[in-house]
Structure 1
Amino acid sequence: MVRLLALADSFTQHNDQLARLQPAYGATWGHTSAQVLVSACLEAVQAIVDQPMYAGVTLTEATLRIKQLAVLTGQAVRHLAEAKAQLGAPASPSDPPTRSEEVARQIQLARELTALAPAMALESASAVASEIHRRRPATTTRNDALTPAERTALHATARGHIVIGRREGHEFVHSRGNSVRIDTLRALEHAGLIAIEPGSAPPAFGGGPPHDRVRLTLSGATAVTAFLGRGPRTPEPSVPRALGAHTAAPPARAH
């Protein structure tokens, strides 16, 4: 499951960079990055297949979802390759505006193909987790120390839905879906479950300041696996409870 959460995180980073980089650099960087992600998807598929469990409907669907993600990412590779080819073609006085537009169009198509990738990887992780939890007796985990607000924040972070911005000197959280409070994130950061990377996410509008991306650490990804696939999350309370301090771990990465 941690591998699938790392895959979701890798796609979030890929999408952030592709949105932030100038086309001339983004096409080349994105092409290489997307190729790596195709391989990561195929490795994740094999990891699911290697699970010592009966391959029922749930695991089969989890596998198919990642295979579909590999196909979509492969299509993104082709669009980015076309953008690279356009950039590398000999220039002529009449070409630049049209060529620039085509490069931007190809990059945009590639971005659209992987836009939902973090959520798809998380859905597969949830499916695998539900099977594991169903086949094993319930155990007490560190997850018991997390509040509903903290679990909501970690889940949204895993989906690539959390960034932090600033307005008039004040921090604010931008989250798609569930509301997440800045003090909840700071508690999770203090506990070593998330890392906040300044300026790594695209701005909310053209020419605006970049946002800070919130990512799971390895400890955070492990914490998410403890409650992933266990059914609906409890609604978030208005005031989250602080966590105790833990040693921070680096952001989760695929192996």
Structure 2
Amino acid sequence: MTADQTMPSAGDALFDVPTPIEEMLRLAVDFTRHNDALDIALRAKNSTPDTAHSSSARDLAADVLKVLRAIHNQRLHPSEDLTRAHLRLRQLAFLAEASADHPPGAARELTALATKTVMDNALIVAEQTLNAQSKTLHSEGSGLTAAHKSALVEIARGHVVANSTLGREYTRSSGSKVPMSTLRRLEAKHLVTRTSGTALPAYYGGPLQDRVQLTPAGITALAAALTRPAAVRTAPRVAGVPLASPSQATARSR
């Protein structure tokens, strides 16, 4: 090691380790990208079946198992919801692995609900994580507005695409609407990005749309928001007005 190189501190190494929620959000991004690629390949004219998706599918199956190990290592309190989350993620790993041995059409069916499965269970694990933590440790909140947090969840679910026509930009969402103004604010914060021409057209024969996905910074921000309690607004204290004595009350009534 040279004189100008420094050894990372134990604290830096600790914070560089992704949390299970971050790993699940990253997995959701990867499944959306995988399914988009299959969709475009299946819609392409004169396309011939190939196995380009197989390597990606096997990597995703391995990543699901990695996420399961990370959740297990958290030692969360057992619950029915957490048990179901484990089961559904194991099923997803099996489906992703199986899809690698099928042609693109059948493979796409096997991973059709992959992003939804990951996100549904990410929210369950986030809730269980929040319940297991001392809320006083995170009373400062996540730094995201409710609207931005909601938009990031929709984007993580693979619901949001963007496009433009006649010089005007717009968004489309299969879930809750994410306005273009919100998307631009999130882009300005480097929390989301658009990848040109990676999502199916809005209509048959139309141009490919731009998939909106979380950036690494967006993954970190949303994971923090999901595992921190919402800020609680308390009413301002109002000084009490002293009650009138019985004699005063009698005098006022005369």
Q: Which category of TM-score, normalised to the shorter sequence, fits these structures?
A: 0.7 to 0.9
Q: Structure 1 regions of 5+ residues with no counterpart?
A: 81-106, 233-255
State yes or no: 1:17 paired with 2:37.
Answer: yes
> CA 1:34/1:115 → structure 2, altered by over 3 Å: closer, same or farther?
same
Please give the residue correspondences for 1:76-115 in structure 2 after superposition, counting only pairs within 5 Å: 76-80=99-103, 107-115=104-112
* Aligned pair partner of 1:191 in 175, 189, 211: 189
Q: Find the residue that maps to 2:211 and give its secondary structure.
A: strand
Q: Which one has the largest radius of gyration? A: 2
Amino acid at match of 2:53: G
Q: Find the residue that maps to 1:132 and give its secondary structure.
A: helix
> CA 1:230/1:109 → structure 2, altered by over 3 Å: closer, same or farther?
farther
> What's the counterpart of residue 151 of structure 2?
153
TM-score by length of 1: 0.74
Please give the residue correspondences for 1:130-141 in structure 2 after superposition, counting only pairs within 5 Å: 130-138=127-135, 139-141=138-140
Deviation at 1:27, TM superposition (A): 2.8
> CA 1:109/1:205 → structure 2, altered by over 3 Å: closer, same or farther?
farther
Equivalent-residue separation in structure 2 for 1:74 and 1:48 (angstroms): 20
> What's the counterpart of residue 166 of structure 2?
168
Deviation at 1:137, TM superposition (A): 2.2
> What's the counterpart of residue 25 of structure 2?
5
Give per-residue Cα distances to partners, 1:73-105, cap 9 Å, x unaligned: 23322213xxxxxxxxxxxxxxxxxxxxxxxxx
Equivalent-residue separation in structure 1 for 2:229 and 2:50 (angstroms): 40
Give per-residue Cα distances to partners, 1:34-83, cap 9 Å, x unaligned: 11111111111111111132333232222111111112223322213xxx
Amino acid at match of 1:140: S
Point out which structure has higher relative CO (alpha carbons under 8 A, 6+ apart).
1
> What's the counterpart of residue 95 of structure 2?
72
Q: Find the residue that maps to 1:209 and give its secondary structure.
A: coil
Q: Structure 2 regions of 5+ residues with no counterpart?
A: 1-20, 231-254
Equivalent-residue separation in structure 2 for 1:147 and 1:156 (angstroms): 14
* Aligned pair partner of 2:122 in 116, 122, 125: 125
Give per-residue Cα distances to partners, 1:135-180, cap 9 Å, x unaligned: 112213552x322221121000110111001222211111112111
> What's the counterpart of residue 99 of structure 1?
none
> What's the counterpart of residue 49 of structure 1?
72
> CA 1:20/1:130 → structure 2, altered by over 3 Å: closer, same or farther?
same
Residues 141 and 225 in structure 2, CA contact (< 8 A), matched pair in contact too: no
Residues 141 and 229 in structure 2, CA contact (< 8 A), matched pair in contact too: no
Q: CA RMSD in A?
A: 2.2
> What's the counterpart of residue 62 of structure 2?
39
Equivalent-residue separation in structure 2 for 1:141 and 1:223 (angstroms): 14
Deviation at 1:231, TM superposition (A): 9.1
Q: Find the residue that maps to 1:195 and give its secondary structure.
A: strand
> CA 1:175/1:127 → structure 2, altered by over 3 Å: closer, same or farther?
same
Residues 77 and 132 in structure 2, CA contact (< 8 A), matched pair in contact too: no
TM-score by length of 2: 0.74
Q: Find the residue that maps to 1:27 and give its secondary structure.
A: coil
Equivalent-residue separation in structure 1 for 2:140 and 2:60 (angstroms): 31
Residues 149 and 180 in structure 1, CA contact (< 8 A), matched pair in contact too: no
> CA 1:28/1:52 → structure 2, altered by over 3 Å: closer, same or farther?
same
Aligned pairs, number = 205
> What's the counterpart of residue 4 of structure 2?
none
